[in-house]
Amino acid sequence: SRVEPHEFEIGGIYNSLEIYNYNTVNESGTGFNTTYWDEMLRKGMHVNADAADDNHNGNFPDNFGGYLMVAAESLTHDNILNALMEGRYYSVGGVDGPRIDQIIIDGRNVTVSCSPVERVNIIAGGYVGAGTTIMAQKGEKIAEASMKLTGTETYIRVECVDEYGRTAWSNPYYL
């Protein structure tokens, strides 16, 4: 998605932002960006994230490369739309990308459970350097990560990244 930073200056009108487009990643290497999303979150905007593939199947197959995993009460149109509007989903970039099983915020602790990955990033809004990256030892994988909160974070979001760079992005949790 080719956008300019000034296009995000109008607050309150966005429900979500496409941060990953599998077609554009393969076509020109420009279909991935979380910088604008974090900038919006740091400004206090409440914005979820989406991954998509556009499914053009032109010069290369691009189906199922960007998708949402929706936590709907049941597979009905209304329940799926409600889950999307309420942010009860996470985004995945890459065919058969990682899973986010659970994120628990308990007092001053964040715990992430996911499919086995090489790295879990817990991105936090607040002071410079807020958040952490938990990496597996060489040749190993992790399926859980945690971080202590300082109390100054304004939001957290999670990225689970596998050995191929495929990523699952949670929506933000506002603190």
Does residue 11 surpass a pLDDT of 70?
no
Q: Where are the domains of the chain?
A: 5-174
* Token pair listed for 129: 């350097």
Closest to 133 measured CA to CA, from 125, 124, 98: 124
Question: What's the pLDDT tens digit per position in 38-56?
Answer: 998 998 989 999 999 877 7
Sequence-distant (6+) residues with CB within 8 A of 66 are: 20, 21, 22, 23, 51, 52, 53, 91, 92, 93, 94
Q: Say which residue the tokens 């607050």 belong to.
A: 11
Question: What's the pLDDT tens digit per position in 107-146?
Answer: 999 999 999 999 999 999 988 889 999 999 999 999 999 9
| Alpha carbon distance 65, 55 (integer Å) | 9
* Token pair listed for 63: 């189906």
Q: How confident is the model at residue 94 (pLDDT cuts 50, 70, 90)?
A: confident
Q: What is the pLDDT of residue 57?
A: 74
Sequence-distant (6+) residues with CB within 8 A of 112 are: 100, 102, 103, 120, 122, 144, 145, 146, 158, 160
Contact of 18 with 50, CB cutoff 8 Å: yes
| Alpha carbon distance 169, 30 (integer Å) | 18
